[in-house]
Amino acid sequence: MAALAPHLLSSYAPYATSPADKLTAPNAAHWFGTDELGRDLYTRVVHGSSLSVQAALLAVGIAMAGGLSLGVISGFAGGRIDAVIMRLIDVLLALPGLLLALAIVTAIGFGTLPVAIAVGVGIIPGFARTTRAEVLRVKTLPYVEAARLGGA
């Protein structure tokens, strides 16, 4: 809810100041209190978490799309295609995640979107390996072989 519509969870604006209400303790009107400018801290937390949740969802979406597609292609194709994809995944796994993320952010720019992309790319190898392992396992099950013999 906070990611899609943070304004529904609070009636205050995240940047609106109220000098008369500065540094108040938590109360019924300001659940987390206010800061030195009189801004409602609960509202700022909700709006800040919205950006974080959106970035996390984007990173996981990128990782799932990339990892699942690479894993399925690698598992079904086999041979050279499997070898090439798995070596690419091995290279990504060999690089430290933080170093890879820093390199990607440096290459495409700073901000929330590039960081989400960098984290997503860093997670792709895990999804790809797991998906490939499951494809290889399911591919040899009797009902799959029977379907292939039946013309599917």
pLDDT digits (tens, 9 = 90+) for 130-147: 999 999 999 999 999 899
The pLDDT tens digits for 67-120 are 999 999 999 999 999 999 999 999 999 988 888 888 999 999 989 999 999 999
Per-residue model confidence (pLDDT) at position 151: 87
Q: Which helix (H) or strand (E) holds 5?
A: none
Which residues are CB-neighbours of 93 under 8 A, at least 6 positions away?
125, 129
Per-residue model confidence (pLDDT) at position 130: 97
- Is residue 143 situated within a structural domain? yes
> Bridge partners of 30?
none
Which residues are CB-neighbours of 1 under 8 A, at least 6 positions away?
8, 9
Which residues are CB-neighbours of 92 under 8 A, at least 6 positions away?
100, 121, 122, 124, 125
Residue 53's domain comprises 6-149
Q: How many C-beta atoms surround the C-beta of residue 51 within 10 A?
A: 13
Number of compact structural domains in the chain: 1
- Is residue 1 situated within a structural domain? no
